[in-house]
Amino acid sequence: MHLITLSFDDGFRRSCIEVARIYEQFGLKACFNVMATGVMASDKYGDVAKGDFALWNELAARGHEIMPHGYRHADKSALSFAEGRDLILRCLDVFDEKLASFERKDAVFNFPYNRTTPDLEQWLPTVVRAFRGGFAEAGLNPLPSLQMKAIRTTGFGPENCEAHLDDCIEKLMARPDGWLLYNTHGLDEEGWGPIGAKYLARLLEKLVKRDDVRLIPAAVALNAANH
Ligand SMILES: [Zn+2]
């Protein structure tokens, strides 16, 4: 079995609505990672409109996965352990308060820039189910297990990442099994390393026909693991 998770970061409003619509055409659930404050002021994508918890609750009620991507878009590897931990806990507090379906023990925390520290990697799984951070060749992980606390990923940018994503899928399919966790952002022109809406629809249409592929949100994949 081959699992594929497209892990859409940053909560761009227009992109998230469109991604959810495309996934629903194929009976699939998407995976979104959003900031507690919606703020990305330090980033060149800070001006792109973000969704809010009204939208996140609506998408979650439709079965999509909404997971934390930070209180703000901070690079935790540039902060002290105490500062990084404080920002993560503040983020989780906001999710507890504002996202009806949120359970931190089942959650995946998605590090901005996928930058972690050894201290944070050790501490964070005592608070949440797992984290996404750090990189793996072609974004390939083993199939999920009860013991898995770290999900490694890959991505490509700042321009369109479709060719890179296709290459990662090919590498996954060349293996007997595995889990590709690919870090996507927005659609069309939105965000770092975007993919086209038409490309996404074509990709999902192709993959849902395969018996040896499952498109699945990250926390669903982990929480279904029983070994
Ligand atoms: Zn981000």
Tell me the pLDDT of the chain (227 aa) as tens digits: 999 999 999 999 999 999 999 999 999 999 999 999 977 655 677 788 999 999 999 999 999 999 999 999 999 999 999 999 999 999 999 999 999 999 999 999 999 999 999 999 999 999 999 999 999 999 999 999 999 999 999 999 999 999 999 999 999 999 999 999 999 999 998 999 999 999 999 999 999 999 999 999 999 999 988 65
209 Cα to the center of ligand 1, angstroms? 31
Q: Is 34 helix (H, G, I), strand (E, B) or coil?
A: strand
Element (H, E) at 78: none
**Domains identified in the chain, total number:** 1
CATH code, domain with 38: 3.20.20.370
78 Cα to the center of ligand 1, angstroms? 15
39 Cα to the center of ligand 1, angstroms? 10
Q: Longest Cα pair distance anywhere in the chain, in angstroms?
A: 47
Contact present, 208 and 198 (Cβ < 8 Å): no
Q: Is 65 helix (H, G, I), strand (E, B) or coil?
A: strand
33 Cα to the center of ligand 1, angstroms? 8
Q: How far apart are CA 209 and CA 61, in angstroms?
A: 26
194 Cα to the center of ligand 1, angstroms? 12
Dig out the tokens for 63 from the structure: 């079965």
Query: What is the model's pTM?
Result: 0.96
What range defines the domain where residue 173 resides?
2-224
